[in-house]
Structure 1
Amino acid sequence: KSSIVLVLNEFMEKERDEYLHASAYERSSERRDYRNGYYERELLIGVGKIKLRVPRTREGDFSPSIFEKFSRVDQALTLSMLEMVVNGVSTRKVTNIVEQLCGEGVSKSFVSSLTEKLDPIVNKWATRPLNVQYFPYLYADAMYIKVREHSKVVSKAVYIMTAMNEKKKREVIGLKIDHVESFDAWQGFFQELKSRGLQSPKLVISDAHAGLKKAIEREFIGTSWQRCTVHFKRNIIKKLPKKGMKQVICDLRKIYQSASCEEARASKVEFISKYRVNQRIENALDLLEEGFEDTIQYLNEKHKYQLYISSTNSLERLNQEIRRRERVIRIFPNTQSAFRLIGALLMENENLQLNKRKS
C-alpha cells in the first residue's frame, strides 16, 4: 500500500506540472496557473484504503486523472503496481505498466523516478532492528546474478539470511549484494546483522562453503553449524555409479530419518559396514564419513524444530522465486536496482506468508 501511495502521489505531481506548463519555482511565459498546496483524499482499492496527497491550483481547474480512471482500472492498477515493485529495474516493462495506469506514454526518466521512490521503503526494511526477538535458527545462502558495471557485465553475489524464532515463524533478516562469495564478505554481512541487534543463534544452517563456515565460527561464538542434509545427500549420490544404486540411496536416506544423534550414528555405521565391500562406492562412503557429524547437529535440538532445521530448503525455495523473476531481467542495470528488486520481492513474499498465517 505504501508503494502505491508513493507512486500515485508522484504521478499526480507530474500531472500538475504538465497542466501548469511549469515546474516548481520555474519562471515560464506559458504558465497557466499557480500551485496552491495539497489536500488529502482517501481512496478504497483492492488492497485496502489509502490516503493520497492531492495537488491543487489557485483557480481550482486542475483535477488529477487518477480518480476518474481508477474505477476502470482498479484491479489492473493493483496488479500492475505489484509487478512494478518486482520488475522495477526494467524501464521498458515498467513503462508498459504505467501506461496502463495513466492512459498515455511516459518517459524512461519518469519511470526511473517512480521506481527510485521505493528505495527508502526497501532500505528501511533491510536495516530494521533485530533485537526485538531472539532467533535461535539462521539459514544462510548466496546466489549469483549479472549486473552491468562500468559498461561491463559482471557477476555479483546476493547474500540472503533468513531466521526462525521459537514459535517457528520465519522471516528474512538480511540482504546484501557483494562482488564474490568469500570469508570477508560473509563476515562483513554477519557483522552488519549483529550491529542491528542480532544475537548469536543456537544453529546456523547452510551449505559447506569454506568462507561461510569460517565466518560463522568467527562471528557467532558458541553457535553450532548444521550442514544442509539435502545438499550433503545430493553430493554423496553424485559420487555413486549411475546404475544399480536404488537400494543404496534408499538406505542412505534412512540414516536421516533417525530420531537422535545416537540412532543416526548407529545407522551410519550399519550403512558403511553393509556397503564397504563395494569398491564402486568407496568415494561416496568417504564423503559420508568426512561430513556426517556436521549434518546431524539438528538432532540435538527439540523434536518440534528438527523438521525445519535440517536443511536450507525454505531458503532454496525463496532463491528459486528470485531466480524466476531475475531470468526475465537477465542483466540488472546497476547494483542498486538489483537490491531494490530483490528487496521488494522478499518484502512481498513475507507479506504473502503473513496473510496466509492470518487466514
Structure 2
Amino acid sequence: MTRRDESVSNEAYYTVLGVREDRTREVRTVAHFPTESTTNWKDVFQDLKEKEVTVVDLLVCDGSPGIENTLADTFPQADLQLCTVHLKRNIVNKVKPWDKKQVMVKLKQIFAPDQWKITPEKAFETFKQFIQRWQKSYPPLKRYQHKRYRFYFTYYKYEKEIKGMIYTTN
C-alpha cells in the first residue's frame, strides 16, 4: 500500500536481498512499480546485472505469472522457489468452511520444510495426489496440477538448515 496525499493505492515494491556465502543478507535493490508484472521483474533483473550481480542461485518470490521465463532469460542457472504460503492461502480460499481445517492440515504436511529426505519431484507428486483428491469437490483446484506448480517445491533440494528460510517470502 502506498499513501500519497489523501489517497492509498496498491502498488508493487520489489525488495531484492542478496545472501552472502556467510549467510548474511544485504539489500541489493528496492524497486517500485505501479503494478506487479514480469516486465517489471525483467527490469529489476537487468538492473541487478548493471550493478554487477553475475550469479543468482535462487530466487524466492510470489507466483507472478511468467516469472520463471523471465528468470530463465536473465539468470538461466538460477533456481526458482515460489512462495508456499501464498499457494496454501489461495487453495484454502477455494474450499468451503467445513473442509478448510482438513485441507490445511494436509497442506502443512505436504509443505513441511522439516521433511529432510523428500525430493522436489516426490513432493510435487504428493501435492498432485492431494489436488486430485480434492478437485472432485472443488473443480477449480485442477489448475494446481500444472507443471508450473513444481516451482513451489524447489526448497526440498536444499540443505535442511535453510529450507525453512526459503520456502516462503514471508
Secondary structure at 1:209 match in 2: coil
- What is the alpha-carbon distance in structure 2 between the residues aligned to residue 206 and residue 232 of structure 1? 11
In structure 1, what residue type is equivalent to 2:29? G
Residue 144 of structure 2 corresponds to: 288
Return closer, same or farther for 1:146/1:217 CA change in 2, 3 Å cut-off. farther
Q: CA deviation at 1:281?
A: 2.6
CA contact (8 A) 1:156 1:177 kept: yes
Question: Of the two, which has the highest radius of gyration?
Answer: 1
Answering whether residue 53 of structure 2 is matched by residue 206 of structure 1, we say no
- What is the alpha-carbon distance in structure 1 between the residues aligned to residue 66 and residue 106 of structure 2? 32
Q: CA RMSD in A?
A: 2.7
Return closer, same or farther for 1:175/1:265 CA change in 2, 3 Å cut-off. closer
In the comparison of the two structures, how many residue pairs are matched? 164
Answering whether residue 126 of structure 2 is matched by residue 271 of structure 1, we say no
Residue 157 of structure 2 corresponds to: 300
- What is the alpha-carbon distance in structure 1 between the residues aligned to residue 10 and residue 100 of structure 2? 37
Residue 96 of structure 1 corresponds to: none
Runs of 4+ in 1 over 4 A off after TM superposition: 152-156
Residue 327 of structure 1 corresponds to: none
Q: CA deviation at 1:254?
A: 0.5
Percentage identity across paired residues of the two chains: 25
Return closer, same or farther for 1:193/1:269 CA change in 2, 3 Å cut-off. closer
Return closer, same or farther for 1:272/1:179 CA change in 2, 3 Å cut-off. closer
Match of 1:160 among 15, 19, 30: 15
Q: Which has the higher helix share?
A: 1
Q: CA deviation at 1:267?
A: 3.2
Q: Which runs of 5+ in 1 are unaligned?
A: 1-143, 314-359
In structure 2, what residue type is equivalent to 1:268? F
Secondary structure at 2:137 match in 1: helix
Answering whether residue 111 of structure 2 is matched by residue 256 of structure 1, we say yes
Match of 1:177 among 32, 46, 49: 32
Residue 235 of structure 1 corresponds to: 90
Q: Which of 1 and 2 has higher RCO (CA within 8 Å, sep 6+)?
A: 2
Residue 107 of structure 1 corresponds to: none
In structure 2, what residue type is equivalent to 1:199? T
Q: Deviations over 1:184-233 (max 9, x none)?
A: 32222211111112122221111111254443222111212111111111
TM-score relative to the length of structure 2: 0.79
Q: Which runs of 5+ in 2 are unaligned?
A: none
